């Protein structure tokens, strides 16, 4: 089991938690919470694979991803009181999810022969589109369109990973960790200091 596979499973787990927790105040039952966790976890990766023509979709070809989603939903149910006590709990799990999925999405796109610029965009799509679908379904402003830097952090992290991969001789797993770390750092700073890009007027 390599670092990439662990990243994918943990990213799926964290996104499933954030999806299930998003409906905690919406009066949803287990099926509703499970469905939201599922959509949040697989939405971005499925869209990436469809756009790149990669079949079967990851979660269809490997049952462990469904298990990771199930564990995330169960964890959200049994530990939600403790999770809610954590400051900015939702941001924590969402940030971990996007950091893992961005780099993995970019790497998969590269492996399918696309240009690095497209790979960076595919990495961003992998990370953010599940959250966009989640927020749309619960009638919230998608996190992508809120003020704090979000998708931009994914693009920067993916770009850093691609540059490290192309210009350095660092181990691939080290590049994965560094790229993900850049996204986490940018997101933490953006939330803490309310950083945003200039308004489009």
HEC secondary structure over 19-58: HHHCCCCCCCCHHHHHHHHHHHHHHHHHHHHHHHCCCCCH
**Which pLDDT value is given to residue 26?**
66
pLDDT tens by residue, 127-166: 999 989 999 998 888 877 876 799 999 999 999 999 999 9
Spans in the chain with pLDDT lower than 70: 1, 25-27, 86-87, 147
**Which pLDDT value is given to residue 147?**
67
- Identify the CA nearest to 38 among candidates 50, 26, 46: 46
pTM reported for the whole predicted model? 0.87
**Which pLDDT value is given to residue 24?**
73
**Which pLDDT value is given to residue 128?**
93
* Domain layout of the chain by residue ranges: 3-193
**Which pLDDT value is given to residue 6?**
84
């Amino acid at each position: 089991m390599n670092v990439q596979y662990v990243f994918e499973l943990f990213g799926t787990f964290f996104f499933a938690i954030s999806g299930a927790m998003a409906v905690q105040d919406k009066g949803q039952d287990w099926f509703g919470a499970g469905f939201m966790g599922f959509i949040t976890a697989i939405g971005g990766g499925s869209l990436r694979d469809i756009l790149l023509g990669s079949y079967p979709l990851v979660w269809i070809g490997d049952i462990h991803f469904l298990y990771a989603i199930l564990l995330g939903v169960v964890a959200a149910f049994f530990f939600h009181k403790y999770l809610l006590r954590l400051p900015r709990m939702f941001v924590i799990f969402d940030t971990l999810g996007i950091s893992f999925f961005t780099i993995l999405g970019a790497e998969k796109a590269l492996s399918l022969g696309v240009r690095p610029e497209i790979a960076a965009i595919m990495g961003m799509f992998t990370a953010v589109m599940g959250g966009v679908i989640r927020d749309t379904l619960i009638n919230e402003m998608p996190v992508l369109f809120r003020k704090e830097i979000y998708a931009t952090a994914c693009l920067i992290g993916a770009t850093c990973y691609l540059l490290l991969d192309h210009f350095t001789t660092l181990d691939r797993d080290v590049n994965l960790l560094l790229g993900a770390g850049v996204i986490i750092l940018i997101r933490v700073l953006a939330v803490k200091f309310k950083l945003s890009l200039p308004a489009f007027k």
